[in-house]
Amino acid sequence: MNTDRKNLMTQSASSRRGLVLVVVMMILVVLTALSTALSLRLTQVRRRQNYMIDYQRARYACDSALKYMINLLPDQRYTVVPREGMPDFSDLFWMEQADYESYIRSWLEVAPEEQVQKLIAQSGLDTEPVLPERTLAESLALLVKKMIDPNAGLEELAPLPLRQTDPSKIKVPGPYGAPWPYVAEPIDLEMGQAHVSISVEDENAKMPLGWAVSDNKAAQAALTTFCEWMSMDKDQIEDLQQECRKIREEKTFVIDPQPILIKSRAASTAQRTAQAQARSTASRFRTSRQPPGQSAARTTPQTAQDQLRPAIAHAADFSKLFHSSLLDVEDLARPRRNTGPRNESPLRYLALWGSQEININTAPRQVLEAAFTFAGEPDKIAEAIIQKRAAKPFQTTQELENLIPEERSRIQAAAPYLTAQSSFFQIRIDSRCGNARCLAAATVFKDQKKVETLAVLYGR
């Protein structure tokens, strides 16, 4: 009996110890899970805080860079340079990658040596000799050969001839010297812990989308023709036309718009109050002091002046409409097929900031032909413009009329849509700090040293 009782007591004690052990293990598991969850939550909070700090730094650097460029623009003169003998930028966006490489290779074969060296230097290509790759057997054979002749193998280290440069890596300069549509080489800055890239684009070198929301049928047809050249199918063109019709319902595009007089609400209220007071005062004067048949002169004091909205403000309206949900920008940004690393898309060649005119010195061929679809033979006029501006840029659009006298009347019909000096420029800011990124795009109107900011858009 005593033995059985001892066994039962031993088993009971073992069971209690096992139960305690299980409870302890469960508590440890729960505590571990809680500590892990708390650690993950703290890590997420810390990362979120770090991201917010990085984004604030990136946003501050973005705003600072934008102010820097706007203050810098008045003293900048973006001059179109002669490009005679250089590969022309006009046809490159239209070419597929194979045609593009063939075009550059053909130019390399006939261009003067100094121009080839200049273009390769601008492209940042390395012309230093590169050691060819060899197998182990070839390396041993070359080592034995060098033991006999110390100069063996040096002929294989000769620089690659300039004529054999990879054409896909060459950057063709645009009308200002920088790649189209830049007016200067992009600027890279370090602002605190943020890295900032700044670029300025010529908006007058692109096809104005505002033409599609005007009442001018010829201008609408010009944009449709351009879309067809950009390999947009019928559905894409129809969708774009439908979106433009919706935008036209909000505001119709007009070439050379006039200022608008806007009566402020405060001015209207003050005017009504003043008129009521004048009527009351005149009534009192008529009944008390003035002889019959005479009336007091009415005076209407103006407490607030009406606002005169300048004509350039219309461009800001269209820039906001074109960047709103009314327009599917993502569809226009899809790259065309077979353009390789250049990733050419219609969006790159469309002006979405309310510009009115096309610069005949900086627009590519297809944009020029689209502008002249309602004025004679567009391909003939575009070719004449390209040949003339390669040697000497146009100073005025009147020079174009003298260039092709037989097309003078038709060129005059397109004159309201043309210019020889760009005034609309787009500033793009890309600011990065850590994992945070801030983007800004602004359009400005530049007339000599006068610069006016029309619209600013931010993104991430």
Cβ atoms of residues 195 and 437 within 8 Å: no
Give the lowest-confidence range in 142-151, 188-197, 360-369.
142-151
pLDDT at residue 310 tops 50: yes
DSSP result, 359-403: ETTT--HHHHHHHTTTSS-HHHHHHHHHHHHHHS--SSTHHHHHH
288: pLDDT confidence band, cut at 50, 70 and 90? Answer: very low
Q: Which tens digits make up the pLDDT trace of 141-184? A: 666 566 666 555 545 545 555 556 777 788 888 999 898 999 99
Positive or negative: CA dihedral 154, 157, 159, 164 = positive
405: pLDDT confidence band, cut at 50, 70 and 90? Answer: confident
Task: Give me the pLDDT at residue 66, please.
Answer: 94
Cβ atoms of residues 364 and 91 within 8 Å: yes
Task: Give me the pLDDT at residue 183, please.
Answer: 94
pTM of the model: 0.76
15: pLDDT confidence band, cut at 50, 70 and 90? Answer: confident
Cβ atoms of residues 349 and 388 within 8 Å: no
296: pLDDT confidence band, cut at 50, 70 and 90? Answer: very low
Q: Which of 346, 344, 329, 368 is nearest to 233 (CA)?
A: 346
Domain positions in the chain:
75-81+194-259+311-459, 92-171, 261-286+302-309
Cβ neighbours, 10 Å, residue 114: 9
- pLDDT above 70 as % of the chain: 78
Helices (H), ranges, 251-307: 265-288
pLDDT at residue 264 tops 70: no
Q: Which of 375, 357, 364, 413 is nearest to 211 (CA)?
A: 357
pLDDT at residue 123 tops 50: yes
Show the tokens assigned to 210. Answer: 């505002």
Task: Give me the pLDDT at residue 57, please.
Answer: 94
Task: Give me the pLDDT at residue 209, please.
Answer: 92
Show the tokens assigned to 449. Answer: 């040293």
